[in-house]
Structure 1
């Protein structure tokens, strides 16, 4: 954690609240909070519930209280598997790689307000979920970088029809109905075109920052570093450049007016997010609840099996 960043998620254990170390104890505590959960989360930005021994098959009563209306992961770009009623593996990105900081679905026209993570299987080593105060992330960037992003960014996706690099449009939108995809993209304000091979190209302009609806705090809120080839590493970027043009990549990003985003800008964004992050280490049964606007999250590399589930709500 950056020495200047004193923020960390609020940890809540049974002994802190005088509750039994059981799932029922956590549910009773959340029932007691009632409408107080929302302001508590806004105040602390992220909450970690530890030692309540919540089993994977006992998640629903807890999620019903933490996430009033669970959302499907529509328009998501991370590889994951649906394992329940709008419950997913958090990611299936290879374990040797760190996933940089991001606010979930910040590239979309709508996004979840809350995310809940649950540890089903803890890794042997590593595998923490880093979280960063998104206001601090914004303030940590050089003035030149913040100014460059002032007018927002343009995200471009090339979604195949079942075979190719990246995700298919069927997986991305959780449907095989083109009309439903058209309706979603129209409502999102995207530009799109279907191709003869069944793939679809989607382009969407989104802001680079956002203000929280309750606090008014301005935060960094885009995924330009994750969508930019420079963030893939030199060797991977070079290999991709040899087989396809930038505009044909599964996903890419420019400034809103189409100008390229300099490599050093996205590297600064990526690194300062990670540098200012606080690691949430996992033990089986732990839960992490975050405000998806005030806090960005990622994943550290790990060894051994790791299974962290995620669900979200608006």
Structure 2
């Protein structure tokens, strides 16, 4: 990771009043890497005392990686995160909870030999976390990085006509909850009561339809491009790569199509009016992500803090055992980030 200007370093270091400055190192702009090789600093206490500075720095850089602070347990991780964000989100249905805490999750349980593509967490939902944290308790023996994308840069790389089209049309996420495949609707909505699911969908502006064999289909129109509620900057903000069937391996896609057809395909995404998103649009988004992406190898004890609108993330394939824990906070609503014109 490359060093950055002394101006940036001194600006950030000025907030670290309790630290021995010779023990701190700051590297790379995205993510900003804050590394420490001493033993005197308790990151949770320091973060609580410097919360405003951390928040300001995150808005500037979009991502901060804390490294070398002797974080070795879920409890250590939670203490740090709560010192920055006291009210963590504890009702997320897409990630499995861990036994030690109601507010800390496991990372996505997806086959290790496959990548999780780039996405902004919960951008397909009416409510999403503005901030998200990842903690590495055990890095994989090979691979397993968490690539991140600068969403401001990705937006700038998309041509203006496509920007306008995505702003005007938005995108529609279609999800078929099929028993025995992916997360069940009971797990996702954290209830077995259909009436509670229906109430939630109405409140969250989600169209829903019950099908045979207790299956459920949901459709929700959300922004593909959004305006950050604090910086007022336009950003790419979506889960197109996670939802569109074009990103599945050909063999898996064809198998699912033969079983379910497009109407009952587990996940897919369209323009907000229900028309297909063109392959050329997908490729332009892919290229913008490639040019805006960076990655780093996890080290044990790392904590990565992202502004979920300024930085999207994914996961590289890996070999061996890998333990990444996740926390989310600062919940926002999709209706509050819609761009009128950019």
Determine if the TM-score, normalized by the shorter chain, exceeds 0.5.
yes
By how many angstroms is 1:122 displaced? 0.7
Cα distance change, pair 141–42 in 1 and its aligned pair in 2 (3 A): same
Alpha-carbon distance in structure 2 between the residues aligned to 1:92 and 1:309: 11
Is the alpha carbon distance of 1:95 and 1:144 closer, same or farther for their aligned partners in structure 2, counting shifts above 3 Å?
A: farther
Aligned equivalent of 2:103: 86
CA contact (8 A) 1:7 1:133 kept: no
Match of 1:199 among 215, 226, 241: 215
- In the superposition, relative to structure 1, how do residues 27 and 283 fare at CA in structure 2: closer, same or farther (>3 Å)? same
Q: Distance in 1 between matches of 2:148 and 2:305?
A: 11
State the match for 1:10 in structure 2.
32
1:304 corresponds, among 311, 320, 339, to: 320
Residues in 2 aligned to 1:267 and 1:67: alpha-carbon distance in whole angstroms:
37
Offset of residue 177 of structure 1: 2.6
Change over 3 Å in CA distance of 1:51–1:132 after alignment to 2: same
Equivalent residue in structure 2 for 1:44, among 46, 50, 61: 61
1:157 match: 175
Instruction: Return the TM-score normalized by structure 1.
Output: 0.89
Shift of 1:7: 4.3
- Aligned: 1:61 with 2:79: yes
The root-mean-square deviation of aligned C-alpha atoms, in Å, is 2.1
Report the number of matched residues.
Answer: 301
**Per the alignment, do residues 312 and 269 of structure 1 end up closer, same or farther by CA in structure 2, a change over 3 Å counting?**
same
1:256, distance to aligned residue in structure 2 (A): 0.6
* 1:79-114 superposed Cα distances (whole Å, 9 cap, x missing partner): 645442121111111111222211100000010010
CA distance in 2, matches of 1:235, 1:268: 24
Give 1:71's match in structure 2, choosing from 75, 86, 89: 89
Give the CA deviation at 1:143: 4.2
Please say if residues 113 and 317 of structure 2, whose CA atoms lie closer than 8 Å, have aligned partners that are also in contact. yes
For residues 21-44 of structure 1, what are the alpha-carbon distances to aligned partners after superposition, in whole Å with 9 as ceiling and x for unaligned? Answer: 36x621221122033322121122
Q: Report if aligned partners of 1:75, 1:108 keep a CA contact under 8 Å in 2.
A: no
Structure 2 residues not aligned, in runs of 5+: 2-27, 331-342
2:286 aligns to what?
A: 270
What secondary structure sits across from 2:54 in the alignment? helix
> SS of the counterpart of 1:258?
coil
Stretches of structure 1 that go unaligned for 5 or more consecutive residues are: none
Change (3 A) 1:263 1:239: farther
Contact 2:151 2:292 in 1 (8 A): no
* TM-score normalised per structure 2: 0.82
